[in-house]
Amino acid sequence: MVITIANQKGGVGKTTTAINLASALAFMGHKVLLVDTDPQAHSTLSCLPDPSKYEKSLFDALINPGLPISSIIVKSTIPGLDLILSRISMAKLEPTLLGEIDGHFRLKDALQPIRNNYQFIFIDTPPTLGLITVNSLVAADSVLIPIQSSYLCLEGTDDLLETIEKVKRVANPNLEIIGVVITLFDRRTNLAKDVVKRIRQVFGPKVFKTFVSKSVKLEESPAYKESIFTYAPDSVGAWQYRKIAEEILERVKNEKIRSA
């Protein structure tokens, strides 16, 4: 299954969620690949000690369809997690593919030969709704939306949902929202609880039961090129991402039963 993690708002925990959900499923024994599409390359920097030593990145595979994407997959520092790394060059993707008839399908086509090699492929996206994010939605089976529990949490959500619907109509009719993760949750404040009510009103049962709390350990772990599961395995953050991974497995199982 290919899951794209998307929200055009920055600072909502996309990369933290991508890394730690991918890691949780890898620790559970699943074969997992993380694809970093963000020009800021935060997932790459969090999972590799020296990304500069690798000659090729995702950008090279997307502008040159003859380059097998399997040739740029690397082992991350996180046990069991493979990575396709990004660089600042990804910022040139949109102008490079401008006018190309298959511009929105490049990532889907690149991933197709390796899809069966992994049980889960997570795609970390930039905080925009441009060509990179559209490519990621076209390539995905499902979308996971992290939403910060803040006053302006739903600002721009309509644009994201509209983009998802456009992709469904034009390029990927099977695309669905697998869930909404509430991040940076502070249970001590009434505002956070009110925000959760608002998010539930919009997304209903799509909202995962488990929230991700504000956590120093989650903020620190990328500096040591670790997921929360090796950096602070007994922390609340590790428990929360493990529970969300379990919810994902349950939703995938239920979907397979419904479609059987």
CATH class of 2-259: alpha beta
pLDDT, tens only, 17-71: 999 999 999 999 999 999 999 999 999 999 999 999 999 999 999 999 899 999 9
How much is the pTM?
A: 0.95
Checking if the pLDDT of 260 tops 60, the result is no
Which of 91, 127, 94, 116 lies closest to 18 in space, CA to CA? 127
Pairing of strands 142-148, 81-84: unpaired
Q: How confident is the model at residue 257 (pLDDT cuts 50, 70, 90)?
A: low
Helix (H) or strand (E) holding 62: helix 58-63
**pLDDT at residue 251, rounded to an integer:** 93
pLDDT, tens only, 75-108: 999 999 999 999 999 999 999 998 899 999 999 9
Average pLDDT over residues 190-219: 88
Q: How crowded is the C-beta side of 95, counted as CA atoms within 13 Å? A: 3
Domain extents in the chain: 2-259
**pLDDT at residue 14, rounded to an integer:** 92
Checking if the pLDDT of 237 tops 80, the result is yes
Query: Are residues 51 and 87 in contact, defined by beta-carbon separation less than 8 angstroms?
Result: yes
Average pLDDT over residues 165-185: 94
Query: Are residues 183 and 148 in contact, defined by beta-carbon separation less than 8 angstroms?
Result: yes
Checking if the pLDDT of 188 tops 90, the result is no
Task: Tell me the C-alpha distance between 63 and 28, whole Å.
Answer: 34
**pLDDT at residue 89, rounded to an integer:** 95
Torsion of CA 31, 37, 38, 43, to 10 degrees: 20
